[in-house]
């Protein structure tokens, strides 16, 4: 565990991790039940179809996991000096241009990869990250169908190009294994993990310019980063178009990847920041296994200057 890692006063790391395990596997059970059309556990209602006057399984699953995690954290740590920001509550919590007044902030996405949830691919995730003054220090990425629970612990003050930290994966039995990043180094042999749904002409032009190796298509951001942590892929790129990912899409995957020695930054090298008054993570964001990150960023920034001269990477 990183020696410099800190937590809010009165919070012990082992106790926090134990509660995050319990809550995460409970969230997995909720999502798996909704995904199979079964009665969910813990008293949550069965999902109503649109024909029945409901909003369908995605909305029900989102809300159930949101309540499960928020209520669970509040019950386990009633006096903790932190705030929780969820995708499901953001409209009520946030004012444009104004960060939340919180030194410690949990950032939650109760269901990342809604299209994959609906399509039954199993490539959806739960993201939960604890940030201090805008920088993630702890990340949790849960992949319910694969029964993988990824943790990442980052030392305070770690930079975006890699950090002293620890990242590992657990199964339901509590068995753990460390992240294993790939040994690939040359850009032409790096494996890209990409979305099935969010690809426009600019991104295709950028990928052509980078001339990477193979491509693997995966749903959620957490699922993409997990493939890097397993050594199956090496690079993920988010290029904003009409919309941009939000804080809850990126915070937990970034924490887990950087804790493993990987990198996650803008193409111009800037670090991602959170709770800065704008939840959009706009620009060209590059996540990688680390060793080739600087070369990737330089080549991407140069390509974008030609592809989209006014774009801020």
pTM for the whole structure: 0.93
N residues, the chain: 313
Nearest to 225 by CA among 283, 282, 289, 297: 289
Which residues lie closer than 8 Å to 74 by C-beta, 6 or more apart?
Answer: none
Q: How confident is the model at residue 51 (pLDDT cuts 50, 70, 90)?
A: low
Residue 166 to residue 83: CA distance in whole angstroms: 24
Q: Is the dihedral of CA 34, 89, 109, 238 positive or negative?
A: positive
Q: DSSP for 41-68, please give it.
A: STTPPPPPPGGGTS-HHHHHHHHHHHHH
pLDDT in tens, 52-73: 544 566 889 999 999 999 999 9
DSSP state of 39: P
Q: Is pLDDT above 80 for 113?
A: yes
pLDDT value, residue 255: 97
Strands (E), the chain: 83-86, 104-112, 125-132, 135-143, 148-154, 165-170, 176-178, 192-194, 215-217, 235-239, 263-266, 284-288
SS (H, E, C) 1-31: CCCCCCCCCCCCHHHHHHHHHHHHHHHHHHH
pLDDT reported for residue 198: 62
Residue 118: the pLDDT is 86
H-run or E-run covering 294 = helix 293-307
Residue 163 has pLDDT above 60, yes or no: no
Which position has the higher pLDDT, 198 or 295?
295
Question: Which pLDDT belongs to residue 162?
Answer: 41
pLDDT of 5 reads 77
Instruction: Report residue 105 CA to chain centroid gap.
Output: 15
Instruction: Give the H or E element holding residue 254.
Output: helix 247-259
Count the neighbouring beta carbons within 10 Å of the beta carbon of residue 203. Answer: 19
pLDDT digits (tens, 9 = 90+) for 126-160: 999 999 999 999 999 999 999 999 999 997 644 43
What is the pLDDT of the chain when averaged over all its residues? 91
Percentage of the residues of the chain whose pLDDT score is greater than 70: 92
Q: Are 171 and 216 in contact (CB under 8 A)?
A: no
What pLDDT is attached to residue 155? 76
User: What is the band of 4 on the pLDDT scale with cuts at 50, 70, 90?
Assistant: low
């Amino acid at each position: 565990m990183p020696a410099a890692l800190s937590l809010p006063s009165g919070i012990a790391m082992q106790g926090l991790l134990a509660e995050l395990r319990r809550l995460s596997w409970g969230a997995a059970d909720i999502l798996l039940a909704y995904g199979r059309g079964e009665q969910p556990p813990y008293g949550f209602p069965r999902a109503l179809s649109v024909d029945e006057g409901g909003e369908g399984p995605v909305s029900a699953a989102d809300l159930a996991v949101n309540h499960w995690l928020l209520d669970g954290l509040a019950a386990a740590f009633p006096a903790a000096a932190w705030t929780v920001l969820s995708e499901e509550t953001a409209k009520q919590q946030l004012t444009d241009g104004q960060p939340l007044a919180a030194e410690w902030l949990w950032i939650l996405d109760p269901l990342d990869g809604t299209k994959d949830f609906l399509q039954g691919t199993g490539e959806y995730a739960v993201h939960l990250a604890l940030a201090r003054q805008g920088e993630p220090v702890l990340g949790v990425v849960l992949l319910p169908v694969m029964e993988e629970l990824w943790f990442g612990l980052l030392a305070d003050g770690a930079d975006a190009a890699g950090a002293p930290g620890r990242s590992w994966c657990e199964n339901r039995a509590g068995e753990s294994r460390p992240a294993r990043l790939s040994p690939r180094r040359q850009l032409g042999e790096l494996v890209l993990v990409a979305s099935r749904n969010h690809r426009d002409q600019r991104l295709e032009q950028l990928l052509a310019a980078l001339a990477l190796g193979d491509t693997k298509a995966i749903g959620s951001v957490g699922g993409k980063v997990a493939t890097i942590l397993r050594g199956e892929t090496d690079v993920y790129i988010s290029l904003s178009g009409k919309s941009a990912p939000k804080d809850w899409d990126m915070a937990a995957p970034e924490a887990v990847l950087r804790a493993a020695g990987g990198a996650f930054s803008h193409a111009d090298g800037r670090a991602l920041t959170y709770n800065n008054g704008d939840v959009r993570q706009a620009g060209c964001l590059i996540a990688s296994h680390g060793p080739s990150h600087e070369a990737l960023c330089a080549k991407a920034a140069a390509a974008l200057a030609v592809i989209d001269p006014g774009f801020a990477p």
